[in-house]
Amino acid sequence: MAGWRCPKHGDLRELESENAKLKRLLADAMVDNIALEELLSKNV
């Protein structure tokens, strides 16, 4: 089993890396959204 390789293994790592990047972008956008909502609620 030591010589067994999965040809899709590299693709999975790329997808996991892109998924992590997208999660960070989403988290940043959510933080920005919360900050803007707080700013707007103070100005009303």
pTM: 0.69
Residue 13 CA: distances (Å) to CA of 22, 33, 42, 43: 14, 30, 44, 45
pLDDT digits (tens, 9 = 90+) for 7-38: 667 788 999 999 999 999 999 999 999 999 99
pLDDT in the model for residue 21: 98
Query: Domain-by-domain residue ranges, the chain?
Result: 8-44
E strands along 1-44, which residues? none
Measured in degrees and rounded to the nearest 5, phi and psi for residue 29 equal -65, -35
